């Protein structure tokens, strides 16, 4: 079965552009989004567990310099949109370079992360609240954020509009 509804507008009216054994690229005739249409359902949780293990955690920690450099730049961009102190949610922080930089400047920060080795590292290293799982399972008492940030996360999600839709629902109140 092919999952060929447009991720953005949910229209089923799309045209084939390109195909491999595992997915097709289709273009939505309603909103023009080009999206990946999977030929089989993949268990993203299983894929993540395979990819984001302790080996990767250690590799990232050894090569942290560039991550911190980028995180500082990102913090400057985010700060432009915030008034003084703020409560931030980061989705998919991995080894927490942005979290480190945000805490340095006195921001309050919480995180949502699916990879267990990262979750354990973040809790231990920074003592922050880090929810293990997906955004839609974030307990409701954790909300009311001034900003939600994510860096290099969308390309790891099979349906990127999920983030947009879930954010809207979770933070509407
Ligand atoms: Zn569309």
CA of 122 to the centre of ligand 1 (A): 37
CA of 4 to the centre of ligand 1 (A): 10
| 106 and 75 inside one domain | yes
CA of 9 to the centre of ligand 1 (A): 4
| 28 and 51 inside one domain | no
Domain range for 7? 1-41
CATH of the domain at 52: 3.40.50.150
Would you say the pTM of this structure is higher than 0.85? no
Cβ-contact 138, 132 below 8 angstroms: no
CA of 94 to the centre of ligand 1 (A): 31
| 79 and 136 inside one domain | yes
CA of 161 to the centre of ligand 1 (A): 11
Q: How many residues does the chain have?
A: 173
When divided into structural domains, the chain yields a total of 2
Locate 111 and state its tokens: 């995180």
| 49 and 36 inside one domain | no
Give 10-residue mean pLDDT values along the chain (173 residues).
73 89 85 79 65 86 92 95 91 96 96 93 97 88 90 76 66 50
| 87 and 6 inside one domain | no
């Amino acid at each position: 079965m092919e999952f060929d509804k447009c991720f953005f507008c949910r229209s089923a009216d799309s045209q084939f552009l390109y195909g491999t054994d595992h997915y097709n690229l289709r273009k939505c005739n309603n909103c023009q989004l080009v999206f990946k249409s999977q030929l089989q359902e993949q268990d993203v949780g299983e894929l993540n567990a395979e990819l984001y293990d302790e080996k990767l955690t250690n590799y990232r920690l050894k090569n942290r310099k560039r991550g911190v450099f980028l995180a500082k730049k990102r913090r400057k961009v985010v700060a432009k949109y915030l008034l003084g102190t703020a409560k931030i949610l980061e989705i998919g922080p991995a080894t927490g370079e942005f979290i480190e930089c945000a805490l340095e400047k006195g921001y309050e920060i919480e995180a949502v992360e699916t990879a267990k080795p990262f979750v354990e590292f973040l809790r231990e290293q920074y003592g922050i609240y880090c929810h293990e799982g997906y955004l839609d399972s974030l307990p409701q008492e954790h909300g009311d954020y001034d900003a939600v940030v994510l860096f290099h996360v969308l390309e790891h999600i099979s349906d990127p509009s999920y983030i947009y839709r879930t954010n809207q629902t979770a933070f509407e109140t």
